[in-house]
Homo-oligomer: A and B are copies of this chain.
Amino acid sequence: MPAASSPPRRPRSGNRRDEAARLAVLHAADDLLVEHGFGALTVEAIARRAGVAKQTIYRWWPSKVEILLDTLIEDSNKRLPVPTEQPTAESIRGYLRGFARFLTRDTAGKVLLALIAEAQRDPGTAKSFHQRYLGPRREQERDMLARAIEAGEVSPGLGPDATMDALVGPIVYRALTGSSIPRGLVDTLVEDLLRPHKPRHTRT
């Protein structure tokens, strides 16, 4: 009786894109980044870990950066949504605290930091990162801020982009330099930058 035991391989996809392979790649990339750092994140390692051929990766993603962008976009929409209800000073503070937590605790936060870093090395990465992540998200943040101002909840002394950068910058910077982000930092930023009591010089 021949047909003893064939290796228990998962059913291959055939004609259509293999969703299991796609997820395996995304998770493998994520895991490797967290476990061994960006330096060890090679396409070959991802393929090995995901049990997938290198070509399968190159077929669907132009570079490993795009893999990370996929996971980052998915995760940060899911776990760090920009408040869309009528925003208050309080909800903005909440968003920033969430952002701080995201950067320091969530694995997706590492991905964001890695992409900021990678954007410094390669112009292509920078462009893609802006178009697919930073730009859209900033759009939403700008909207949040604009509506809060309109409602009289906050009155920043700077234009919307500069204000967001002034709020987000310190948080990102501490994450990049490996420092923790104390609660008081976020509170004070919000307090000082969103509720000033005297007129300002310029707007940017």
Q: Among B157, B171, B188, which residue has its beta carbon within 8 angstroms of that of A191?
A: B157
Give, as a whole number of angstroms, the nearest-CB distance from A65 to chain B: 12
A62 within 8 A of B: no
Are B165's CB and A170's CB within 8 A?
yes
- By beta carbon, the residue of chain B nearest A39 is B121
Contact with B along A25-60 (1 / 0, CB 8 A): 000000000000111000000000000000000000
Q: How many copies does the complex hold?
A: 4
Residue tally, chain A, CB below 8 Å to B? 50
Bound state CA distance, A200 and B182, in angstroms?
Answer: 14
Contact with B along A175-188 (1 / 0, CB 8 A): 01111001111011
A203 within 8 A of B: yes
Contact with B along A120-137 (1 / 0, CB 8 A): 111100100010001000
**Which B residues are CB-close (under 8 A) to A13?**
none
Are B122's CB and A39's CB within 8 A?
yes
State the majority secondary structure of interface residues on A. Answer: helix
A12 within 8 A of B: no
Contact with B along A157-178 (1 / 0, CB 8 A): 1100110011011111110111
Q: Among B37, B168, B179, which residue has its beta carbon within 8 angstroms of that of A173?
A: B168
- By beta carbon, the residue of chain B nearest A161 is B179
Are A188's CB and B157's CB within 8 A?
yes
- What are the 5 A-B residue pairs with the smallest beta carbon separation, nearest first? A184-B202, A169-B170, A169-B173, A117-B120, A117-B117
